[in-house]
């Protein structure tokens, strides 16, 4: 897969198939080869990039089978784009068995020219016992191994029932095979009962155990209500027969749910039926015609939601969109709460900062991955700076306080830890401008942070709430120097601040008092502080870190051939990455080094440390200064 844009685990990526490129995230509408009331050609204007059809139906229907073998699958369906074929797993579950075995089904899919073939996996339901779910995942893996030497794109489904550890085990087993595509199976009953919170467990535990270089597909996840949640957790593709199933029951799909035709009075303007029918006219259509027309509406709703999600990824605002969607239905809110319980995992893949502001809604926002990241840093900050601590709550802290009484009369006059309240928690005051502390749009519903947690970490040192008292005497320390060191520690790791910024550095500030550039004593530029409150390093600044911070910290190791070009300022491509620090944060500055640990460039990682080692297509590091450029 080639990454175009990303937002945490969500990604817009290109996936190549024999009949064209699929750009994710997207939906593959289910096409019944016997009945095509809406053809793939009619779906193209909506955003169709590929379809899914059932190879078992074709195989067991002589007329369809003969045509497919003679003319090919694409001719049979009447579509020249990517086609994925399902294997008959669901039919096997419903009927107890089917008349073909796994190898026969896969072989047939390849013979008729399927772009993505699927093995005959073993279906599980939420009611499947743990022992049966374990047997199913092992049998599914064994069936994958039966065809593991086959060429082409074969989908290896992840099974394991509702058991997170079994999902991880299944994903790890499938990850070890030659499967190039991974559907998450056995989830339709959960979607039908709105059990989205259990689905969260399944998706996250499957996703983190699969290679990031392979597409993840949520089998049967065809309702747009849960699309944004799924994409946020790393799902790339969906398939949908819901547009037809719901239409047959006179149900219209909307981005936030489903409505009965009998209960609506107006059609939304985005519906393809809006200028064509009144609601009464749709009701008066004969049943078959009415189902087809409602299916057109449902397809529009599905692809409209995909388009919205992609736009949110481009804006780096998908997390905010998910938070908004969560408040549209109790089941989604429950799922959101469950999803935020995985914030420590999600945080590993979140960018250093985003283009969009951080929205604080309510107590649910305190479980956000960015809060998790800041809380972890704050705990380490206090543990390594054990001394008296003042906490400035929202009523005592004035925004823009770098020019306030607080800095002049408190911070610079006494040697203490200073914490400010933010998003219902505490963070070091030095991170005042660092994303997302300054870039927060708040509802104002934050509760006062819990001081007891700070007291436990600092004891026996004093912890108190600042009440506006004055402190006399000359300044004993520099707020700006401590600020740039603390930001560097947060951005690059504890200890880097002092490596990078000695006591004699020159700190340039703007007319408004904001820190801009930091120079060494002899005038060499070390770094620039951006509007998001983080640093962009120069090659010289990177060399200061490189000389003291041992590998693999902050490093992206490239091949010797690549190093030569990166030193000239050219970006690093994934295929030339030899290794990388697992702790690298996406969109953070990194050290680009050769295989001998020679520093060749500094740049911004496009993805996290783990992803740097797994992707094979696209740009891994956007270099902003190479060694050869710095020497000019």
User: Residues 254-300: pLDDT tens digits?
Assistant: 988 999 999 999 999 999 999 999 999 999 999 999 999 999 999 99
Catalytic pick from 86, 201, 236, 351?
Answer: 86
Asked if the model's pLDDT at residue 349 lies above 80, the reply is yes
Q: Which residues contact 311 (CB under 8 A, 6 or more apart)?
A: none
pLDDT category at 405 given cuts 50, 70, 90 is low
Cα 251 to chain centroid, rounded? 31
What sign for the dihedral angle of Cα 288, 292, 293, 294?
Answer: positive
The whole-number pLDDT of residue 632 equals: 55
Which pLDDT band holds residue 448 (cuts at 50, 70, 90)? confident
pLDDT of residue 630: 81
φ, ψ dihedrals at 174, nearest 5°? -65, -35
Q: Indicate the pLDDT class of residue 423, thresholds 50, 70 and 90.
A: confident
Task: Say yes or no to pLDDT of 97 above 70.
Answer: no
Q: Is 86 labeled as catalytic in the residue annotation?
A: yes
Specify the 3-state DSSP secondary structure of 496.
helix
Least reliable range by pLDDT among 438-452, 481-495, 539-553: 438-452
CA distances from 277 to 271, 284, 382, 604 (A): 10, 10, 65, 53
Confidence of residue 401 (pLDDT cuts 50, 70, 90): very low
pLDDT score of 88: 78
Residues 239-263 have pLDDT tens digits of 989 999 999 999 999 988 999 999 9
* CA 399/CA 529 separation, integer angstroms: 19
Q: Residue 272: helix, strand or coil by DSSP?
A: coil
Nearest to 361 by CA among 335, 337, 395: 337
Q: If you ran DSSP here, which 8-state letter would residue 35 be given?
A: B
Say what the alpha-carbon torsion angle 155, 302, 191, 228 is, to the nearest 10 degrees: 90
Nearest-angstrom CA–CA distance, 436 and 371: 9
Give the pLDDT of residue 100.
Answer: 84
Strands (E) across 82-236 are located at 83-86, 116-118, 153-155, 182-184, 216-218
Q: What pLDDT shows up at residue 397?
A: 47
Check residue 357 and report its DSSP letter: P
Does 398 score more than 60 pLDDT? Answer: no
Alpha carbons 407 and 412: distance in angstroms, whole number: 6
What stretch of H or E contains 29? strand 26-31
* pLDDT reported for residue 110: 96
Chain-centroid distance, C-alpha 409: 43
Cβ within 8 Å of residue 603, ≥6 positions away? 571, 572, 589, 590, 592, 621, 622, 623, 624, 625
| Rounded-to-integer distance, Cα 222 and Cα 237, Å | 10
Residues forming beta bridges with residue 238, ordered by sequence position: 27, 218
**Interacting residues of 270 by C-beta distance below 8 A, sequence separation 6+:** 300, 304
Judge if the upstream peptide bond of residue 545 is cis by omega within 30 degrees of 0.
no
The proportion of the chain whose per-residue pLDDT surpasses 70, expressed as a percent, equals 96
Q: Where are the alpha helices (DSSP H) in 101-179?
A: 102-111, 130-146, 164-175
Q: Is the pLDDT of residue 519 over 80?
A: yes
Cis peptide before 248 (omega within 30 of 0): no
Residue 21: the pLDDT is: 97
Which letter, b or e, does each residue of 162-193 get, where b requires 16 or more Cβ atoms within 10 Å of its Cβ? bbbebbbbbbebbeebebbbbbbbbbbebbee
For residue 604, give the H/E element and its range.
Answer: strand 599-605
Give tens-digit pLDDT for 160-173. Answer: 999 999 999 999 99
Residue 162, SS3? coil
Is pLDDT at 222 greater than 90 in this prediction?
no
* pLDDT tens digits for range 549-601: 998 999 999 999 999 999 999 999 999 999 999 999 999 999 999 999 999 99
Other Cβ atoms within 10 Å of 375 Cβ, number: 19
pLDDT band at 123 (very low <50, low <70, confident <90, very high): confident
Is the pLDDT at 494 greater than 80, yes or no? yes
Query: How large is the angle between the packed helices 330-340 and 196-207, nearest 10 degrees?
Result: 30
Check pLDDT > 70 for residue 432.
yes
Q: For residues 118 and 182, what is the distance between their CA atoms, to the nearest angstrom?
A: 9
Q: Which is higher by pLDDT, 437 or 424?
A: 437
Question: What is the predicted pLDDT for the residue at 294?
Answer: 97
Residue 429: DSSP 8-state: G
- 457/460 Cα distance (integer angstroms): 9
CA-to-CA distance for 57 and 42, rounded, in angstroms?
Answer: 23
Q: What is the pLDDT of residue 93?
A: 62
Mean pLDDT value of segment 613-618: 95
Angle (CA) 407-354-198 rounded to 5° is 115
pLDDT at 399 over 80: no
Inform me whether the pLDDT recorded for 488 exceeds 70.
yes
CA dihedral sign, ordered 345, 349, 352, 356: negative
The average confidence (pLDDT) of the chain is 92
pLDDT in tens, 12-62: 999 999 999 999 999 999 999 988 889 999 999 999 999 999 999 999 999
pLDDT number for residue 464: 82
In this predicted structure, the answer to whether residue 134 has a pLDDT above a threshold of 90 is yes
**pLDDT value of residue 402:** 42
**Looking at the predicted structure, is the pLDDT value of residue 365 above 70?**
yes
Half-sphere exposure of 390 (CA within 13 A, CB side): 20
pLDDT at 392 over 80: no
User: For residue 433, is pLDDT > 50?
Assistant: yes
């Amino acid at each position: 897969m080639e990454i175009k844009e990303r937002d945490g685990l969500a990604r817009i990526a290109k996936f190549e198939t024999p009949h064209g490129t699929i750009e994710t995230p997207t939906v593959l509408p289910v096409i019944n080869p016997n009945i095509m009331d809406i053809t793939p050609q009619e779906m193209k204007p909506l955003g169709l990039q590929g379809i899914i059809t059932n190879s078992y139906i074709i195989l067991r229907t002589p007329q369809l089978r003969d045509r497919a073998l003679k003319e090919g699958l694409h001719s049979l369906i009447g579509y020249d784009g990517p086609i994925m074929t399902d294997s008959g797993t669901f039919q096997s579950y419903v009927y107890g068995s089917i008349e073909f075995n796994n190898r026969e089904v896969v072989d047939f899919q390849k013979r008729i020219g399927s772009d993505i073939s699927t093995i005959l996996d073993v279906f599980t339901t939420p009611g499947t016992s743990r022992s049966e779910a374990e047997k199913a995942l092992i049998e599914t893996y064994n069936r994958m191994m039966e065809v593991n030497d086959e060429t082409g794109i074969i989908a290896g489904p992840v099974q394991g029932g509702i058991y997170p550890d079994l999902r991880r085990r299944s994903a790890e087993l499938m990850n070890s095979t030659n499967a190039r595509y991974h559907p998450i199976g056995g989830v339709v009953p959960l979607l039908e009962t709105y059990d989205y919170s259990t689905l969260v467990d399944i998706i996250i535990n499957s996703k983190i155990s699969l290679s990031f270089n392979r597409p993840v597909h949520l089998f049967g996840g065809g309702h747009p209500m849960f699309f944004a949640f799924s994409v946020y957790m790393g799902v790339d593709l969906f398939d949908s027969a819901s547009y037809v199933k719901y239409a047959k029951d006179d149900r219209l799909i909307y981005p936030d749910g489903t409505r009965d035709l009998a209960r609506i009075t107006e059609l939304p303007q985005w519906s393809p039926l809006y200028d064509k029918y009144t609601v009464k006219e749709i009701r008066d259509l004969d049943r078959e015609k009415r189902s087809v027309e409602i299916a057109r509406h449902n397809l529009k709703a599905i692809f409209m939601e995909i388009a919205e999600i992609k736009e949110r990824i481009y804006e780096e605002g998908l997390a905010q969109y998910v938070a908004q969607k969560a408040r549209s239905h109790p089941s989604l809110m429950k799922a959101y709460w469950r999803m935020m319980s995985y914030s420590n995992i999600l945080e590993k893949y979140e960018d250093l900062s985003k283009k969009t502001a951080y929205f604080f809604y309510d107590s649910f926002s305190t479980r956000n991955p960015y809060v998790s990241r800041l809380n972890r840093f704050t705990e380490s900050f206090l543990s390594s700076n054990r001394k008296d601590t003042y906490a400035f709550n929202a009523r005592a802290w004035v925004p823009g306080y770098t020019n306030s009484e607080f800095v002049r009369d408190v911070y610079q006059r006494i040697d203490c830890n200073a914490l400010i309240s933010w998003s219902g928690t505490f963070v070091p005051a030095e991170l005042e401008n660092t994303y997302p502390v300054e870039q927060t749009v708040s509802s104002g519903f934050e509760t006062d942070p819990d001081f007891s947690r700070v007291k436990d970490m600092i004891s026996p040192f004093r912890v108190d709430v600042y009440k506006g008292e004055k402190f006399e005497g000359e300044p004993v320390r520099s707020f700006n120097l401590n600020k740039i060191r603390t930001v560097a520690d947060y951005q690059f790791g504890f200890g880097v601040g002092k490596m990078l910024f000695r006591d004699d550095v020159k700190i340039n500030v703007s007319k408004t008092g904001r820190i801009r550039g930091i120079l060494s004593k002899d005038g060499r530029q070390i770094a620039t502080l951006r509007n998001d409150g983080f640093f962009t390093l120069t090659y010289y600044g990177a060399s200061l870190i490189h000389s003291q911070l041992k590998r693999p910290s902050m490093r992206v190791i490239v091949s010797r051939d690549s190093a030569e070009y990166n030193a000239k300022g050219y970006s690093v491509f994934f295929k030339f990455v030899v290794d990388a620090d697992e702790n690298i944060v996406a969109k953070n500055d990194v050290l680009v080094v050769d295989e001998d640990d020679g520093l060749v460039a500094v740049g911004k990682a496009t993805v996290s440390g783990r992803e740097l080692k797994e992707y094979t297509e696209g740009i891994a590091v956007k270099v902003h200064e190479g060694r050869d450029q710095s020497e000019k």
